[in-house]
Amino acid sequence: MEKPAQCSLRLHVLQGLFVGLLVGMNLLGNKITTIFGISVSVSIFMVPLTFLITDIAEEVYGKDVVSHFIVSGVITLILMFLYTGFFVWLPPNERFTYNAEYQLVFGSSMRIIIASLIAFLLAQYHDIWAFAFWKKKTHGKALWLRNNLSTWVSQAIDTMVFMMIAFYHVTPKFTLGFIISLSIPYYLFKLAFAVLDTPFVYLGVWWLRREKIRA
């Protein structure tokens, strides 16, 4: 009798968190806050975690498994885009008196979702490739180096592609130069988060490997 395949609960938890963060980034990321005098999207607290999760999963299970995370994320973002457009279009009930605000908040997020989807695909697939590339070069050692090198370039791709698609010529003020000036400090914050989350990469790999060893 064929033995049933082992199901990794912890891997599924990571995948659920990954997809949930993607949804959160797109629904909540329109708000701009100020950190150390610099204007940044509140999604700055979510984006680095997606790269952290994929690096943990790839270290333990390989890039083929992480590609499943990305496919799940893409399908989810496409569904979110379609539902957002449909819900914004639907006429409101007379008891719902906040339709203009609803359309303003969620209608503007449609361009954000498109930008996020394209930036997400390019950055995440680069991250998978780069992590595997550096793992081969380091013979599976120096996880801290592989995590940071792959994430630094991927975050640069994610930041520039997203900012250009989401905000280029939204108003005359958003020229290429202005977007670059906004992107640089935003990217530097992402770099700082990538460095700070390095201990959590080791912790996550240890946590995920424990379940895999027991299985």
Residue range 123-149, pLDDT digits in tens: 999 999 999 999 999 999 999 999 999
Query: Residue 112's CB: how many other CB atoms inside 10 A?
Result: 23
Give 23 or 26, the one with higher predicted confidence. 23
**Can you tell me the distance from the alpha carbon of 2 to that of 66, in angstroms, rounded to the nearest whole number?**
26
Is 81 in a helix, a strand, or coil?
A: helix
- Residues 6 or more apart in contact with residue 96 via CB below 8 angstroms: 102
**Can you tell me the distance from the alpha carbon of 205 to that of 130, in angstroms, rounded to the nearest whole number?**
18
**Can you tell me the distance from the alpha carbon of 76 to that of 69, in angstroms, rounded to the nearest whole number?**
11
* Range name among 72-81, 101-110, 129-138, 141-150 with the lowest pLDDT average: 101-110
pTM: 0.86
Residue 7: pLDDT band with limits 50, 70, 90: low
Residue 27: pLDDT band with limits 50, 70, 90: confident
DSSP 90: S
pLDDT at 10: 92
Residue 5: pLDDT band with limits 50, 70, 90: very low
Is the pLDDT confidence value at 110 over 80? Answer: no
Q: Which fold has domain 9-214?
A: Arp2/3 complex 21 kDa subunit ARPC3 (1.10.1760)
Average pLDDT value for residue range 5-16:
83
Rounded to 5, what percent of the chain is helix, strand, coil?
80, 5, 20
